[in-house]
Amino acid sequence: MSLEYLVRKPKTAVAQPPLLILLHGYGSNEQDLFSFAEELPDELLIISARAPFDMGYGGYAWYAINFDDQNGKFSDIPQAKSSVTKIAEFVKEIQQEFQTAPEKTFLLGFSQGAILSYAVSFHYPNLVNHVVALSGYINDDLIPTEMPPAIATDYYISHGSVDQVLPVDWARKAPVYLNMHGLDNEYSEYPVGHGVAPQNFYSFKEWIEKRL
């Protein structure tokens, strides 16, 4: 496989299981979101991927975030684009390896993982059917110059209203952009910082269950 990963196989054996791939945030690793796995539906095949760029001390990134005096904080867009390609290839590898249900691929990303989940869904139309974007935003540098016309993906979006890392205003632009392109989405905010509140977890769990 092109990326390291953890796997939770379906607790109930099914032919062609639905697939959920987890993409962690900047400086974290595949163990982070995998803590959700035990609480998620039994029929899911759950894969938690490790980002390709090693930051040391057990932390990984999908792309570098750099700091300088002129621009402040900025993202390494070439690295981000390379990760979009890597994630798409990884999704295809997992689908093939585990013979998953072709119409039931979920991509769940937190922060940097959410930013790339959006990008993968735009650049590889219908490779993933459902996106759960937690504490992320749509990065203008990672969207196609023209949106493919036949995307059928839908989106669950949530954000902390007091997020100090990625301002909530950035997240609020996502439903506006998706609505403009006729893409189904559900948006919610929770009174937390850069993290996932318990009620947020149960909300996206229910959203996933409805699509199984």
pLDDT > 90? residue 116: yes
Instruction: Check if the beta carbon of residue 113 is closer than 8 Å to that of residue 136.
Output: yes
- Residue found under tokens 């759950």: 46
Distance from C-alpha of 108 to C-alpha of 131, rounded to nearest angstrom: 6
Angle 79-92-3 from CA coordinates, rounded to 5°: 50
pLDDT > 70? residue 164: yes
pLDDT > 90? residue 192: yes
CATH of the domain at 88: 3.40.50.1820
The predicted structure's pLDDT at residue 71: 58
Q: Which DSSP letter does residue 28 get? A: B
Q: How many domains does the chain have?
A: 1
The predicted structure's pLDDT at residue 147: 84
Banded model confidence at residue 12, pLDDT cuts 50, 70, 90: confident
Distance from C-alpha of 45 to C-alpha of 12, rounded to nearest angstrom: 10
Confidence (pTM): 0.96
Domain range for 146 is 5-210
Span 48-80, pLDDT tens digits: 999 999 999 999 999 998 766 555 667 889 999
Instruction: Check if the beta carbon of residue 116 is closer than 8 Å to that of residue 84.
Output: yes
